[in-house]
């Protein structure tokens, strides 16, 4: 399966998790308190990163594809300078743990998400 990936910079992780969980109809698949959250739906891989820079709040960080058949991780820029990533779900999970040390998977009673094993 191939999911479109969107990554945004946000100002408040907790407020954004509440808002986007409502909009997407499910809790995040992974959360790193104070830093990061990610949702996997059937069609979308959506991630948010908290920033302390007010000028970056609401800005697109990058886009791309989570692709079950992807090998590893690739990053390119398109003709407009927009960063595109391509990765497998397992590679993204590995990178979350590598970047943040671990992630908390919300309890399945919160609406759950789809995803691989996170540290």
CB-based contact 63:4 (threshold 8 Å):
yes
Nearest CA to 91 out of 62, 113, 75, 68 is that of 68
User: What pLDDT, in 10s, does the model give residues 40-64?
Assistant: 999 999 999 999 999 999 999 999 9
Distance of CA 17 to the CA centre of its chain: 11
Mean pLDDT by 10 residues, the chain (119 residues): 96 97 96 95 96 96 96 95 95 89 61 41
- Please check whether residue 119 is in contact with residue 102, taking contact to mean a CB–CB distance below 8 angstroms: yes
- Domains detected in the chain: 2-110 (3.10.180.10)
């Amino acid at each position: 399966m191939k999911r479109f990936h969107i990554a945004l910079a946000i100002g408040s992780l907790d407020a954004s998790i509440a808002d986007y969980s409502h909009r997407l109809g499910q809790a995040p698949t992974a959360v790193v308190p104070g830093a990061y959250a990610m949702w996997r739906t059937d069609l979308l891989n959506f991630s948010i990163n908290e920033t302390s820079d007010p000028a970056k709040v609401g800005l697109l960080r990058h886009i791309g594809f989570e692709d079950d058949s992807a090998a590893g991780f690739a990053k390119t820029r398109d003709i407009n300078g927009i960063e595109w990533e391509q990765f497998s779900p397992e590679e993204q999970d590995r990178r979350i743990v590598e970047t943040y040390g671990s992630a908390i998977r919300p309890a399945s009673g919160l609406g759950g998400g789809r995803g691989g094993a996170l540290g």
